A and B are shown apart, each in its own frame.
Chain A
Amino acid sequence: MLKLLGSLCILAAGGMAWMDRRRTFRQTLETLTELLAALEEMEGAIRLERLPMPRLLSRAALRRDGPVRMFFQTVVQTLRRGEDLVPAWRQAVGELSLSERDRSALAELGEKLTGDETRACQGIQLVSRTLTASLENLRKQQPEREKRGAALWFSGAALLIILLI
């Protein structure tokens, strides 16, 4: 009985760890998708409306969900306190669930956004390209990762059952 309970505990812990990884993975996918949509809107607003940054970021916060909404809200609140955009942007980027490479590309965008239209839009396009590549990569990996995770979990379960017998 004790062996059975122990085995169940191990299986549950394994399952939870797998679920957690899956959730993080999905969150990264969602963050990337939302960020790309927000950046596209920002580029349009800069080119066509010349919307000032605080209003642009407030609008992005309203239109986006989850961690990306939080990200834009944090930057807007920091700007309202009279602080500088570049450190505010960098700090908020640090809270996003992204790879180091994506985070670093996004962090650099803060400085470019304070430039003229060409510089701001080129910066956005550059980051968008980096994030799009990451998103495609993750999407390609998704079935493989799920298959591998399931296989690992079942192998673990099978091994435990054999051990219990």
Chain B
Amino acid sequence: MEPSKAIECYEQAAAVLPSRLRRAALAESREHRAMAEEFRLRTGYPMTLLLPEGEYATGVSVEPGDLEALCNQATEFSRYAAMETLRRGYLSIRGGGRVGLCGSAVMKEGECANIRDFSSASIRIAREKRGVGEDVVPQLFREGQFRSTLILSPPGGGKTTLLRDLIRCLSEGGGERPGLRISLADERGEVAVLWQGEPQMDVGPRTDVLDGCPKAAAIPMLLRAMNPQVIAVDEITVREDIRAMTMAANCGVGLLATIHAASVEELTRKPLYTELLAAGVFSLAVVIRREDGGARRYQVEELPC
């Protein structure tokens, strides 16, 4: 990503900070603004920037009330519009960033209904890296057919960034490979980043986006309504998502999804995903590994059936 674009993303994420912290964030060096991956705010401690080499403390402390102001700015003073995600501990912000929140959970009938008295927050800066998936895409085809693929990495490894670029490449097509009709179930709104119906990130010309809808509900809707060749989703985390994806696979639709796992081996050890692997829904995995120096390497592997 060009430094100017990276700085633009940084500034967009900084826009949700309370004014005092925003001023400090914008006063950071150009290098920090281009490289920062997250802002981290903990009440009573200095705000930090997450850089590839680790957390860097700015000189400004986070005071009680700053996190409430952050929540107001992030939801555009509309918590009612963000309640579904807020009770799951995060908020999607304009530009594709995500605010993760910690505090006191308000429980109702065994489920978290809200979070109050925020204690810390992380603001993930959205990064669009066009082209990261271009070398990977040809490896996802066998005999000219797209194979359902999982993208694996630990949290913060760049799964969403790769997913977005793979969607764009598949949607655009290239060489003798025709563009595919992709339906994207963008539950958190982080992949396409719809703003008044228009994707803010490039997801290709043949991509239909349904955002804000839980994946388990979105997949059948997309199947019925959009006649996709490939359905893409970000972060499979619950059994309902797996069931919906199995159903879609049985309808002959290709799947592209991300999962938190450092390797195929780790994936096979997780009970939730054994059902998915046993059903043979996915045949390939792209494993994201970080090399020394922070560069990412993408390795395509066959999944065990």
By a beta-carbon cutoff of 8 Å, the part of chain A in contact with chain B is 46, 50-54, 56, 79, 82, 84-85, 113-117, 119-121
Contact B19 A82, beta carbon cutoff 8 Å: yes
Do A82 and B81 contact each other (CB < 8 Å), given the known contacts A52-B75, A54-B76, A116-B114? no
Contact: A52 with B76, CB < 8 Å?
Answer: yes
Q: List 26 A-B contacts (CB under 8 A).
A: A46-B81, A50-B81, A51-B81, A52-B75, A52-B78, A53-B76, A53-B77, A54-B77, A56-B78, A79-B76, A82-B15, A82-B19, A82-B73, A84-B72, A85-B77, A114-B72, A114-B77, A114-B79, A115-B79, A116-B79, A116-B80, A116-B83, A116-B114, A117-B80, A117-B83, A120-B80
The answer on a CB contact under 8 Å between A46 and B76 is no
| A interface secondary structure, majority | helix
Q: How far is the CA of A116 from the CA of B83 in the complex (A)?
A: 7
Q: What is the interface size of chain B, counting residues whose CB is below 8 A from a CB of the partner? A: 14
Task: Decide if B81 touches A52 in the complex (CB within 8 Å).
Answer: yes
Interface flags for B53-81 (1: CB within 8 Å of A; 0: not) read 00000000000000001001101111111
Q: Which of B78, B79, B83, B114 has the most CB of A within 10 A?
A: B78
Enumerate chain B residues within 8 angstroms of A52, measured Cβ to Cβ: 75-78, 81
Give, as a whole number of angstroms, the nearest-CB distance from B219 to chain A: 22
Q: Whole-angstrom distance from the CB of A22 to the nearest CB of chain B?
A: 38
Given A114-B72, A121-B80, 5 further pairs, Cβ under 8 A: A50-B78, A51-B81, A53-B76, A84-B69, A84-B77
User: Number of A-B pairs whose CB atoms are under 8 Å?
Assistant: 44
Residues in A whose Cβ lies below 8 Å from that of B114: 116
Binding site for A on B (CB under 8 A): 15, 19, 69, 72-73, 75-81, 83, 114
B residues less than 8 Å from A119 (CB atoms): 80
Interface core residue of B19, B69, B76 (most chain A CB under 10 Å): B76
Q: Which residues of chain B have C-beta atoms less than 8 A from A53's C-beta?
A: 76-78
Per the bound structure, the CA–CA distance linking A56 and B75 in Å amounts to 13
Cα–Cα distance between A87 and B256 once the two chains are bound (Å): 46
Q: Which B residue sits closest to A88, measured CB to CB?
A: B77
The distance in angstroms between the C-alpha atoms of A46 and B75, with both chains bound, is 13
Query: Please, which residue of chain A has its CB at the minimum distance from the CB of B94?
Result: A52
Instruction: Please name all residues of chain B whose beta carbon is closer than 8 Å to the beta carbon of A117 when the two chains form the complex.
Output: 80, 83
Q: Report Cα–Cα, A120/B114, bound state, in Å.
A: 15
CA distance A113 to B78 in the complex (A): 7
Task: Report the bound CA distance from A121 to B73 in whole Å.
Answer: 20
Give the chain B neighbours of A79 by CB distance below 8 A.
Answer: 76-77
Give A89 Cβ to nearest chain B Cβ, in Å.
9
CA distance A50 to B73 in the complex (A): 16
How far apart are the CA atoms of A119 and B80 in the complex, in Å? 9
**Chain A contacts of B75 at CB under 8 A?**
52
Known: A82-B19, A85-B72. A113 touches B77 (CB 8 A): yes
| Minimum distance in angstroms from A37 CB to a CB of chain B | 20
Interface centre among B19, B73, B80, B114 (most CB of A within 10 A): B80
Contacts of A115 in B (CB 8 A): 79-80
A120 to B82 Cα, complex, angstroms: 13
Chain A residue at minimum C-beta to C-beta distance from B113? A116
Question: Nearest Cβ distance between residue A111 and chain B, in whole angstroms?
Answer: 10
CA of A117 to CA of B81 in the docked complex: distance in angstroms? 8
